[in-house]
Amino acid sequence: MQYKLTRRDHNSTPSKERHQRQKQRRMSKVKILVVGGTGYLGQHLLQAYVHANANNGTPFAFDLAFTHHSSPPPQPLLDAIPFSLPFQVDLKTGFGFEAISNTFGQPDVVVNCAAISVPRACEIDPATAHAINVPSSLVKWLQSFEKRSTLLIHLSTDQVYEGEKSFYKEEDIAVPVNVYGKTKVAAEQFISENYPNFAILRSSIIYGPQTVSPVPKSLPIQWIDGALAKGEKVEFFHDEFRCPIYVKDLVTIILTLTSQWISGTGLLVPKLMYWLDVCYAVKNFLMMLIFSDTLFKLAKFNNKIFAEILSIL
Ligand SMILES: NC(=O)c1ccc[n+]([C@@H]2O[C@H](COP(=O)([O-])OP(=O)(O)OC[C@H]3O[C@@H](n4cnc5c(N)ncnc54)[C@H](OP(=O)(O)O)[C@@H]3O)[C@@H](O)[C@H]2O)c1
């Protein structure tokens, strides 16, 4: 059933029985929530999850939900991701999370792609940028579940660094020089201090094709292409080393993290296996980063179970 039909069912007072069946079906599947699903990365990611579902690209069947904020989810996106449930959420106030709990339940994995992601906009309104980019409402919502079993994958930026040298490493100190970077560092700190299961991905500029429902913000390749098509001269910065990442590489990393986290949570797996699975997931992910040339920045994959497994072994 496509989402559009599901929504109509809701509006026309669905039978209790059908509602129950839907709930049971959802409960049996892995639940993925993409916060900021209408943005550039969010749309690519949602389509990749749907594709993985349809083609058995992963050993799991996903139930997919996503959030939108400023306007209703665009129809081309809804058409591209049938079966997905949209929820309006405001990270600033926490509005909308309760509805997700009631309808969708606790997600197994949350990917937070929502942000004020344009540095200029952050400079104009630092308070709003801070309130949205530090996802305290999201973390508090995750804390409200009895079991802290959700993995939070959070998008950060290479703009956490000062920019005085090139090719920063994860262990370099984060010294942000703009409001955007400062909000991202604050977000990293907030998450690491308040939630046990998280991966923070410090991405550089994300490039790739336009989304199924075009995003309003300027995209790097499309901007260059447009300027060249008009025969315009393109001016580039010449005093920065950035390591852009192809959006589908970033999506692959997030899907890999998802699969590896989920594979460690099987209820029939003994507790020790669970710990080990998580460690393998982390190890494999780090190996993938080391051997990949995407120059992607992994900040942390921190889970307190590391300390536990070390003590067990
Ligand atoms: N794009 C890049 O080059 C790049 C580089 C490094 C890091 N990142 C990070 O990667 C993540 C994804 O970036 P992106 O380019 O995909 O961002 P984007 O296109 O700007 O999307 C932002 C998303 O945030 C949502 N949002 C805005 N305000 C919100 C609020 N108050 N409550 C809830 N949701 C809200 C938007 O929803 P509506 O559209 O419905 O308002 C949209 O879905 C961000 O964390 C960004 O900082 C991006």
Give, in order, the Cα–Cα distances in Å from 149 to each of 131, 143, 191, 228.
25, 10, 15, 49
The answer to whether 128 touches 92, Cβ cutoff 8 Å, is yes
Can you give the pLDDT at residue 104? 97
Q: Whose CA is nearest to atom 47 of ligand 1?
A: 117
Percent of the chain with pLDDT over 70: 74
The residues spanned by each domain of the chain are: 3-216+244-312
Residue 230 has pLDDT above 60, yes or no: yes
Best of 69, 100, 204 for a ligand 1 pocket test (most atoms within 8 Å of beta carbon) = 69
Q: What is the identity of the amino acid at 218?
A: S
Distance 28 CA to ligand 1 centre (A): 30
Integer Cα distance of 228 and 231 in angstroms: 5
Q: 18-27, 75-84, 291-300: which has the minimum mean pLDDT?
A: 291-300
Categorize the per-residue pLDDT at 166 as very low, low, confident or very high, splitting at 50, 70 and 90. Answer: confident
Integer Cα distance of 21 and 120 in angstroms: 47
Residue 304 has pLDDT above 90, yes or no: no
Is 39 close to ligand 1, i.e. is its CB under 6 Å away?
yes
Percent of the chain with pLDDT over 90: 62
Categorize the per-residue pLDDT at 247 as very low, low, confident or very high, splitting at 50, 70 and 90. Answer: very high
Categorize the per-residue pLDDT at 75 as very low, low, confident or very high, splitting at 50, 70 and 90. Answer: very high
Task: Name the residue with tokens 């490039």.
Answer: 207
Integer Cα distance of 89 and 100 in angstroms: 9
Q: Which CATH class is domain 3-216+244-312?
A: alpha beta
Residue 60 has pLDDT above 80, yes or no: no
Can you give the pLDDT at residue 54? 75
In the three-class reduction of DSSP (H, G, I as helix; E, B as strand; rest coil), residue 95 is classed as strand
Instruction: Give the residue, 11 or 99, on which the prediction is more confident.
Output: 99
Is 203 close to ligand 1, i.e. is its CB under 6 Å away?
yes
Is 134 close to ligand 1, i.e. is its CB under 6 Å away?
no
Is 117 close to ligand 1, i.e. is its CB under 6 Å away?
yes
Mean pLDDT confidence for 288-292: 37
Residue 162 has pLDDT above 70, yes or no: yes
Question: pTM for this one?
Answer: 0.80
The answer to whether 64 touches 46, Cβ cutoff 8 Å, is yes
Can you give the pLDDT at residue 143? 97
Can you give the pLDDT at residue 16? 56
